[in-house]
Chain A
Amino acid sequence: MAAGTAMETMTMATASEIAAEEFSAVVTKHRPQIFRFLLSSTRDPDLSETLTQECFLKAHRNWGSFRGDSSAMTWLMRIAINLQKDHWRNRRLQFWRQTQTHAVNLDEASDWLPSGERSVEQQLLAKERVRQVGEAVEGLSERQRTVFLLRYVEEMELSEIARTTGLNEGTVKAHLSRALARVRAELGGRR
């Protein structure tokens, strides 16, 4: 009887160790992508870092209940999207709090474009275009922005976006279409 209990305790300890190792691997693998999505969405590195940490904290707490129906990435991205929504909602409600954000302006954000083998003129033009895309993305609704970033920055498939956002594929396509039209109009209008 005692031997059985010891065995069970050992098995449980081993299982939790395995789970911790698994989760650690998941964090290492997916943290850059989650951070990148939040950064592109908020343009605030500090906020993105905080939300990324909250995302993994929440994931860690619920890791036991993750059944693997969707990929870990989809699950984590869904948590990140919800955290971001909650953050903005709380921000709106707590109107008396300092409204200062550390969002980087679009000019600064577009400076990160790798120069490649382009001429100076081409680089400037490309940066200007990136800035315009950034402006258009900023002007999108929350849902359109999320769908656009998941598709064109994270390069996720439509079905995966649908699973992540909880929308059906048709709705995802519609949001994407409107977002692209907005970006196209922004690029066309500034020519």
Chain B
Amino acid sequence: MNFEDKIDAESGVGKFADELGELDEAVSNFRLSVRAWSDAELSRPRAVALPVRRRIWRLAAGWALGCVLVAGSLSGGVYEHLHRQQLARIAADRAAEQQRLAAQERARLEEEDLLAKVDSDVSREVPSAMEPLAQLMAEDESK
């Protein structure tokens, strides 16, 4: 079985004889090239490469990079957590402050109401002899 028949049988395409001839030649040359290269490389004396120290450095650098990444992600997480806690604390403080102010305002208003009530109660206790004068003062104020 020649190459074209093999390709025909294996790929199911055998229409283009010229193209196949070219493919046949190209693949054969590729094979020859690889074989010549392989033979040459096999017969070439080869020095032992990669000094151990470089490997150790690479390993150390790999570990260092890994540690930095882990530390970075951990510290990032911790920072984010603390930051959130701080924001929550600030928000809680603000809310407490607002509540305190609202309570103060409420107390102030209540106090004012109370004082007004007291005033009105006290004002009613004007002696009857002074009543016409009090009415006159009220009229003057309203004018």
User: A residues bordering B, Cβ < 8 Å?
Assistant: 31-32, 35-36, 39-40, 45-46, 48-49, 94, 96-98, 109-110, 112-114, 126, 129-130, 132-134, 137, 151-153, 155, 158, 173, 176-177, 180-181, 183-184, 187-188
A180-B12 Cα distance, complex, nearest whole Å: 11
Residues of A within 8 A of B39 (CB): 32
Please tell me if the beta carbons of A132 and B26 are within 8 angstroms of each other in the complex. Answer: yes
Question: 25 A-B residue contacts at CB 8 Å?
Answer: A35-B41, A39-B38, A40-B34, A45-B41, A48-B41, A49-B41, A96-B66, A112-B36, A114-B32, A126-B25, A126-B29, A130-B29, A130-B33, A132-B26, A152-B30, A152-B31, A153-B31, A153-B34, A176-B11, A177-B10, A177-B12, A183-B23, A183-B26, A183-B27, A184-B19
Residues of B within 8 A of A (CB): 7, 10-13, 19, 22-23, 25-27, 29-42, 44, 46, 49, 58, 61-62, 65-66
Nearest Cβ distance between residue A31 and chain B, in whole angstroms? 8
Instruction: Report the separation of the CA atoms of residues A156 and B138 in the bound assembly, to the nearest whole angstrom.
Output: 124
Given contacts A129-B22, A181-B11, 16 further A-B contacts (CB under 8 A): A32-B39, A32-B42, A35-B41, A39-B34, A39-B38, A45-B44, A96-B61, A112-B40, A126-B26, A130-B26, A133-B27, A152-B27, A153-B30, A158-B10, A177-B12, A187-B23
Which of A94, A180, A188 meets B7, CB within 8 Å? A180
Across chains A and B, which 7 residue pairs bring their CB atoms closest together, nearest first? A36-B38, A112-B37, A129-B26, A113-B33, A133-B30, A177-B11, A112-B36
What separation, in Å, do the CA atoms of A38 and B29 have in the docked complex? 18
Q: A96 and B12 in contact (CB under 8 A), knowing A39-B34, A129-B25, A132-B26?
A: no
Q: Are A173 and B23 in contact (CB under 8 A)?
A: no
- A residues in contact with B41, CB < 8 Å: 35, 39, 45, 48-49
Majority secondary structure, A binding face:
helix
**For chain B, what secondary structure do more than half of its interface residues adopt (helix, strand, loop), or is it mixed?**
helix
What distance in Å separates the Cβ of B94 from its nearest Cβ neighbour in chain A? 46
Q: Across the two chains, which residue of chain A brings its CB closest to B22?
A: A187
Q: Is there contact, CB below 8 Å, between B65 and A96?
A: yes
- Given A94-B62, A177-B12, A184-B19, A133-B38 contact (CB < 8 Å): no
CA gap between A137 and B32 in the complex, in Å: 15
